[in-house]
Amino acid sequence: MKKFLLALFFIPLTALASEHVYLDKAPVNLDDYASIQRGAKIFTNYCLSCHSANAMRYSRLEDVGLTEEQIKNNLLFATDKVGNTMSIAMPPADAKKWFGAAPPDLSVVARSRNPDWLYTYLRSFYLDDSRPTGWNNTVFDKVGMPHVLWSLQGKQILKAAAHGEAEAHGKPEFELVQPGSLTPAEYDATVADLVNYLTWMGEPAKMKRMELGVIVLLFLSIFFVLAYYMKKEFWKDIH
The pLDDT of residue 33: 96
Asked if 62 and 71 touch (Cβ cutoff 8 Å), the reply is: yes
| Beta bridge mates, 126 | 136
Convert the pLDDT of each residue in 37-66 to its tens digit: 999 999 999 999 889 999 999 999 999 999
The pLDDT of residue 238: 74
Res. 118: pLDDT tops 50:
yes
Give the chain's length: 239
- The contacts found for 29-34 with CB under 8 angstroms, 24 or more apart, are 29/196, 30/196, 30/199, 30/200, 30/206, 30/207, 31/207, 32/196, 33/64, 33/65, 34/65
The pLDDT of residue 2: 41
Percentage of residues in the chain with pLDDT exceeding 70?
88
The pLDDT of residue 3: 40
Pick from 168, 43, 38: nearest CA to 106? 43
Res. 226: pLDDT tops 80:
yes
Convert the pLDDT of each residue in 155-207 to its tens digit: 999 997 555 444 455 789 999 999 999 999 999 999 999 999 999 999 998 77
**Of the listed ranges 87-91, 97-101, 145-149, 217-221, the one predicted with least confidence:** 97-101
DSSP assignment string, 148-180: TTHHHHEEEEE-HHHHHHHHTT----EEEEEE-
Pick from 226, 193, 219, 211: nearest CA to 38? 193
Q: Exposed (0-12), middle (13-18) or buried (19+): which is 41, by Cβ within 10 Å?
A: middle
SS3 state at 21: coil
Mean pLDDT over each residue of the chain, to the nearest integer: 85
The pLDDT of residue 8: 38
Name the superfamily (CATH) of residues 24-204.
Cytochrome c-like domain (1.10.760.10)
Check residues 39 and 18 and name the one with the higher pLDDT.
39
Asked if 153 and 123 touch (Cβ cutoff 8 Å), the reply is: yes
Whole-number Å distance between alpha carbons of 222 and 233: 17
